[in-house]
Structure 1
Amino acid sequence: MGAPGAGKTTVGRIVARRLGLPVIDVDDDVLEAAWKMPVAAKLAAVGGERFLEEEGQALCNFSASGCVVSLTGSNPLHAAAMRRLKESGLVVYLDVDGEDILQRLGAMKVNRIVGQEAGASVRDILLRRKPFYEEWLDVRVLCGRGAAAEEVAEKVVEAVERYRDRAADAFVSTRSAGSAASDPKTHFSDVVIEGLATDGGLYVPKRGFPNMGAPEWMRLVDMSYPERALVLLEKCIHPADVSALDLRTMIFKAYGSNFSSEAVAPVKHLHRNQYVQELFHGPTASFKDLALQLMPQLFAHCLPQMCNYLVLVATSGDTGSAVLDGFAGLGAATDARRTGVLVFFPEEGVSETQKLQMTGHRGSNARAVGVRSDFDFCQRSVKRMFGASGLTGHLAVEYGTVLSTANSINWARLLPQVVYHCSAYLDLCRDGVVSFGDPVDVCVPSGNFGNAMSAVYAKRMGVPIRKVICASNHNRVLADFFATGEYDLRGRALMASRSPAIDILKSSNLERFVHHVSDRDGRLVEDLFAHLDTRRHFRVAETLLRRMRREVQAGWCSEGDCLAAVRSVHAETGYLMDPHTAVAKVVADRLQDGSCPVVLCATAHYGKFAPAVFEALRMENIPEDPVEQLRRLGSTASAPGVHGGVMTCLQESGRRGHAVCPADYGALVEEVERMIQDSFLKVM
């Protein structure tokens, strides 16, 4: 299936020859045989609208199996015909570059196609048809500009093989010693729900990340963010788990009017070779929205029918509000009523605005609970619950409830983040900053290493990222690890900072990175992270450390340096950064050599951390009202503007009470059971 001039007939013949199957061309073998006249003559005789109906009816009366069928460019406009085809066949969409199609049609002296009204150009008609192709496809074959028919046919064969062999898209645990995970449930739909592997490891794709060549990447340069996300995620999620049409619906809902920027994750020039990717235009003003506007939809789509699910989340600030907002957006049409969300956050370890965003949420099956400890305790407790067979068994038997997670240990949380790193590079290509193939660096303020790991995966897909720079605040465990090869939590206390979202000592997603650079050595990963769990320490071999440093650099900055960066950037450019972005700026200034552009991940809006920003700017007479604080900061910045979602939260939330529990694992378990009783017992 594809547009006129996409090469369906030529490619169909090559594919049929390779597969040893007969080939049928709908134009020649179906329509002209039925009508006893050339297709062009039929179109001239009956006109476009009547032609489409008669063409569709001819296809409805057509039946074939065990062959390759080349459709006409207009077949997908007839719904009944396409439904009949999909009952017995796999629909492969040849997504060919528009300029290639126009050149081919010109060479064939085709200046008008079916459905083309007077005054409309062929280009306009092709654009209008694309949604019809995307409605009916099972598999997309993205064709680079000027791709030869033999090359496209090879991609078709590979796509069909992938579709048929779902097992090739299975997942394994980072701690799996063999080629299969310890749990046989290893498909995407399983890992979305389970979150954490049964052996305590994290799920990763068995076959690794799909890699795309430069011609394919160049096709994405002029696409919108949702279009880019659709093409990339189709390659990472097997259609047996989420169909192409369902994925398209989810993505366009996730990245629509809920983002204040039409670009979703725009890239802005900051200074010299430095660029900022603004990841805070979502509803909760954090980069977490880029994943958590999509992940709950994937979760609801993959839910088995037999029980309720409680999504447990440990957050250092931003994840909590993003999870609550994302799951609230599921709507009544989904299985939202069988899903509860419980967020644990450090009571004294988040900003006031972050706390208001979480505790101000009033969903029927969602709540946030403060814990009188730090993020690491919250995260450790949640992971402990998943590993406690007595607890999970009790919840399943007593309440019919299964635990899951929306932290970045969940693959469906991490995967959407890969898209915005790809999109940043494509924006630089579109704007002429780089030509595809030119290197860039990416600097990520990181605590749990999920954002940095998603940049590593973007590089695996083919984005020319030279180095991923991991930026820490004074909780510099990652910087120390990449400097020494030693991950040491012994005697190390978490220190509160102005960038609380990265106040983390135990970086969960580092496990995925070690698995990646060790050539998927599950035994090594299990030994290292089991040692970290029991003895709070591990060391990697020098050879492995050298491999890590080839992909990731790491540094840290002090609180004073962070505030100074906010102040100096504002003074020089008028741009106002939040403290996390400032951490990235300081570390990039120190580690990046200036020989290529560097993209700083702006992970949050400054309005979420107003007191720290006021301190950085050395402003006096600060208003007490948080709403007035945000307005004043907005008036001092040339960019970005005031975030509407943060403003609304501050205006509406007020001082609402919320549950707070002690730093006791048993107390957190009691909150889990109480949440299940409140959420599901009334339903049961």
Structure 2
Amino acid sequence: MQYTSTRDSSVRFTASQAITQGLSADGGLLTPYYIPKLPGNALDELKDMPYQARAVYVMKQFLEEFTVKELTDFAAAAYGPEKFDTPAVAPVHTLNESTHCLELWHGPTCAFKDMALQMLPHLLTASLTKTEEFRTVCILVATSGDTGKGALEGFKDVKGTRILVFYPKDGVSAVQELQMVTQEGDNVGVASVIGNFDDAQTGVKRLFSDEALREELDKRGFFFSSANSINWGRVLPQIVYYVSAYCDLLRDEKIQPGQAINVCVPTGNFGNILAAYYAREMGVPIDKLICASNSNNVLTDFIRTGVYDRNRQFYNTESPSMDILISSNLERLLLTLTQDVDEVKGYMQQLNATGRYQVSDKVKEKLQQRFFGYCCDDGETEKVIGRIYAKDRYLVDPHTAVAFSALEQYRAETGDETPCVVVSTASPFKFCGSVLSALGEKNIASGLDVLDQLSEKTGLPAPAPLAGLRGKEIRFTTTVEKAHMVDAVLSMLE
């Protein structure tokens, strides 16, 4: 299996090289040359396997140079009981016969990023050995809320690595920020950026393409890589949980073999829903992919019109991990739809120069055959949280609520009652204030007392990783202008 750049078909890497490098030097995203198909009986075989075994089976299709034993050891370490609070790892909760919720927040940081970021450190450190890379890898991360903590926790004290996370100042929830700035580990760093997530993400990409900086790092014995979903090692483990969800529904006889399902995903950077698309390409019977956005609805508009335009107002919402106007992983989908690196490169050049691009009618038609886009604002998000809790006594966070809103809109518009898996991306306890407000509370407690307030309101215990934040020392207080992110990097590596 070779990996190529979305902007240059002459680029060829092995899986370990792609994971080590993270991003192509031309600014493109490293992507499998083709998507392998699951054997015809694979889903039947997988349905009775534990999550760890499913992960090995799926990832091996893309990682030819990794042995089954290596991947088995990685999966056991990444998804074991000391990391996840349920043996199912990514359980499927059924609300009714046509609506199921894939819970991806049972890991150490209570968000779906754990599903990939507990695996990535194993893939990366093994890749360093396979590629005979002896420099220390400096992992740069831009986060809209959850990736930062997930990456910090995954790479904490991992030999041969340093990790620096940038997050938008005043652009994440209080709990998300506290998770990051109290992070333990001798190889970690955190800095807030004045601006929004797109500023942080653009700044990180600029650091990657700064040749003078790369040369300086090389002199110091370092090189850059990424733990954002621009790194293929982040996207690959996400494909697993879509395969796993389908297998769970088969095993529990919620669907029949070969029966199609829809998937509804709250997404900002497009990595999560892209993984669902890749699962479909592998042979999982997924029909429609419903893309859910908050008020930052650039993806909704793109799916409906074929025009991607980030020149619009940016909103800080109650679902901050989706507060994104530049969806990096969309570039990988464009390559699949166009099969033309020059066309993709042209779109990306237009986006960089003008903030917008318009795909061809052929690409638009292909896109709309599979994807539907919907959005909702904070007011509707809270209403959905309240409705689901009142009807099903099931508590969801604001990101998951955005997805449920999208599903409601899709079904109302199309009348399609195909069984749907709604992807739940974070514990509601990471967004206590918004959830309590949605449940009718007027006086929201301050600090971490809000965890107790939500527990008392619902009878649900706060997840241990969040309750354990009490009394932790704040280690990181640096704030930088986006133009000076390089200073934070060089300071960390002194």
- TM over 0.5: same fold? yes
Which amino acid letter does the alignment assign opposite residue 394 of structure 1?
A: E
Tell me the CA shift for residue 638 of structure 1.
Answer: 6.4
Q: Return the alpha-carbon distance in structure 1 between the equivalents of residues 473 and 457 of structure 2.
A: 25
Corresponding residue for 2:299?
478
Q: What secondary structure sits across from 1:447 in the alignment?
A: coil
Q: Decide which of 348, 367, 388 is 1:569's aligned counterpart.
A: 388
Partner of 1:513: 333
Match of 2:493 in 1: 676
* Corresponding residue SS for 2:148: helix
Letter in 1 for 2:391: E
* Conservation of the 8 A alpha-carbon contact between 1:340 and 1:366: yes
Q: 1:229 aligns with which of 49, 52, 55?
A: 55
- CA distance, structure 1, for counterparts of residue 475 and residue 14 of structure 2: 41
In structure 2, the partner of 1:149 is none
Amino acid at match of 2:125: A
Would the aligned equivalents of 1:488 and 1:538 in 2 still touch at CA under 8 Å?
Answer: yes
Identity among equivalent positions (%) equals 37
How many residues were matched structurally?
487
- 1:259 counterpart letter in structure 2: F
TM superposition shift of 1:435:
1.1
2:5 is aligned with 1:173 = yes
The aligned residue for residue 282 of structure 1 is 107
Q: What corresponds to 1:195 in structure 2?
A: 22
Distance 2:457 2:424 in 1: 19
Structure-1 separation of matches of 2:473 and 2:404: 34
Stretches (4+) displaced over 4 A: 654-657
Q: Could you tell me how far 1:654 is from its partner in structure 2?
A: 5.5
Q: Tell whether the 8 Å contact from 2:168 to 2:200 is kept in structure 1 after alignment.
A: yes
- Residues 536-615 of structure 1: pairs in structure 2 closer than 5 A: 536-592=355-411, 593-615=415-437
Aligned to 2:44: 218
Q: CA contact under 8 A between 1:575 and 1:638: conserved in structure 2? A: no
Aligned position for 2:143: 315
Q: What amino acid sits opposite 2:268 in the alignment?
A: G
Alignment-derived partner of residue 386 in structure 1: 208
Whole-Å separation in 2 of the counterparts to 1:281 and 1:218: 25
| Whole-angstrom distance in 1 between the partners of 2:237 and 2:280 | 14
**Greater relative CO (CA pairs within 8 A, separation 6+):** 2
Matched, 1:444 2:444: no
Q: Secondary structure at the match of 1:563?
A: helix
1:245 is the counterpart of 2:69: yes
Select the residue among 618, 629, 639 that pairs with 2:450. 629
Pairing partner for 1:343 from 165, 169, 177: 165
Contact residue 344 and residue 378 of structure 1 kept, 8 A: yes
TM-score by length of 1: 0.70
Distance in 2 between the 1:407 and 1:623 partners?
33
Deviation at 1:468, TM superposition (A): 1.0
2:442 paired residue number:
620
For structure 1, the 5+ residue unaligned runs are 1-168, 331-335, 678-684
The correspondence for 1:401, drawn from 205, 213, 222, is: 222
1:300 aligned to 2:125?
Answer: yes
Q: 2:465 aligns with which of 618, 640, 645?
A: 645
Specify the structure having the higher radius of gyration (Cα): 1
Give the secondary-structure state (helix, strand or coil) at the position aligned to 1:236. Answer: coil
TM-score, normalised to structure 2, is 0.96
Q: Contact 1:214/1:437 (CA < 8 Å) preserved in 2?
A: no
AA matched with 2:432: A
CA displacement at 1:187 relative to structure 2? 0.5
> Aligned equivalents of 2:270 and 2:366: distance in 1?
17
Give the Cα separation in 2 of the matches to 1:301 and 1:481. Answer: 38
Instruction: Tell me if the contact between 2:296 and 2:315 (Cα under 8 Å) persists in the aligned partners.
Output: yes
Q: Which residue pairs with 1:469 in the alignment?
A: 290
Using the TM superposition, give the Cα deviation of residue 624 of structure 1 relative to its aligned residue in structure 2, in angstroms.
2.5
Post-superposition Cα deviations, 1:352-404, rounded to whole Å, max 9, x if no partner, equal: 0000111110211101101111000000011111112122112212x121111
> Which amino acid in 2 is paired with 1:558?
D
